[in-house]
Homo-oligomer: A and B are copies of this chain.
Amino acid sequence: MDKIKVSIVGSTGYVGAELVHGFMSHPDVELLYLTSETFKGKKFSDIYPVMRGLCDIVLVSTEDVPYGTIGKESDLVITALPHGVSSAVVPKLLEAGCRVIDHSGDFRYKDIETYKKSYKLEHPHPELLAEAVYGLPELYRDDLKTTRLTANPGCYPTCSILALTPFLKEGLILKEGIIIDAVSGVTGAGRKEKLEYSYCELDESFKPYGVTGHRHSTEINEQLSFLAGDGSGKAVHAAFTPHLAPFRRGMLASIYCRPDGLFAEGIDSGKVRDVLAKYYENEDFVRILPEGVMPDVKNVAGSNFIDITGVYDEDTGLIKLFSAQDNLGKGAALQAVQAFNAMFSLPEGTGLSTLTRGV
């Protein structure tokens, strides 16, 4: 079989680099163009010396190789661009005939008003929102097979939604009062020359940020509403609070919700885990942890796994769910590899099994 030609637009940010890392070892993929406006003419491995000898592709500017060319020569183009930029670039790529996985927030919403409110931007191509598939294979696998445009989910949304999916979809918890307290490693902030992300400012540090109005809040709630059966995307108003912690990769969500209906009767921690285990029994990358084992970001770093568990707290009547993933892995670039596999009808684990880090 001919290899599938994949290009990455915006390849030198942390998500871009993890995309290169993920796709370069995919057995069915040929990396075609890696673009960078800042570093054009340099080798990818000049920017990421870890990749010397593994990925020495020369970076090109989209001024030199226009989107039309990239889109025409590639089977798939992955865009790792800022929001507001993607919304203009992606249509050009689609027009050139390729399929696209976009990493920004520009195509993640179904409701254009929610997008506008969240990103404070007009959208030049709102008609694409309906067509775009939210790239969570566990939820939208069938739609991914045929879509031209996949909107790769945000990192916080991925770990929040996957933990809650079985409970909301099956009506086992109240839609009201869900609280999501989440923590990200620093790569989540991107590759930026900012004092606030310097080593001396973040080492031995821990703090909340974006405590009201974080964009991922609306993304989470639209998807949770769909799961709860509300097609308008407005039914769920989970509270979301992110924190920044001193490690490079990884993300953990601690989620509080309340059992509903029959599920509330005779509930215990085992039954909470059973719901998770049964729902995800055929999934390659969702690991439901047994009693007494808690998700830890170190156990998912470098991989596409998300580790989930849950307990029922008798003292308060709450279900507590915990999910951990690599913010660059299942939370971004490796989820894109999984979605790519779904889009091209390959086994979903192709190219993903060996990336998990060891000790």
Contacts and interface: CB of A to CB of B under 8 A. Distances in A.
Interface of A: 14, 17-18, 20-22, 25, 48-54, 177, 179, 181, 183, 185-187, 191-195, 197-209, 211-213, 217, 237-239, 241, 243, 245-250, 252, 254, 256, 269, 284, 287, 289, 293-303, 305, 307, 311-316, 318, 320, 322, 324, 328, 353-359
B212 A269 contact: yes
Given A206-B297, A296-B205, A191 B195 contact: yes
Total identical chains: 4
13 contacts: A14-B200, A17-B358, A18-B358, A21-B356, A53-B287, A177-B177, A186-B203, A199-B202, A203-B204, A206-B297, A207-B252, A207-B295, A238-B316
Given A49-B299, A179-B256, A212 B311 contact: yes
Contacts of A299: 49-50, 52
Given A212-B269, A316-B239, A186 B200 contact: yes
A187 B209 contact: no
A353 B24 CA distance: 10
A200 B183 contact: no
A309 to B, nearest CB: 9
A305 B53 CA distance: 10
B237 A316 contact: yes
A124 to B, nearest CB: 27
Nearest to A328: B359
A199 B186 contact: yes
Contacts of A357: 21, 50, 302, 357
A252 B359 contact: no
Contacts of A318: 179, 239
Contacts of A213: 315
A162 B28 CA distance: 36
A197 B359 CA distance: 15
A234 to B, nearest CB: 11
A208 B25 contact: no
Contacts of A328: 358-359
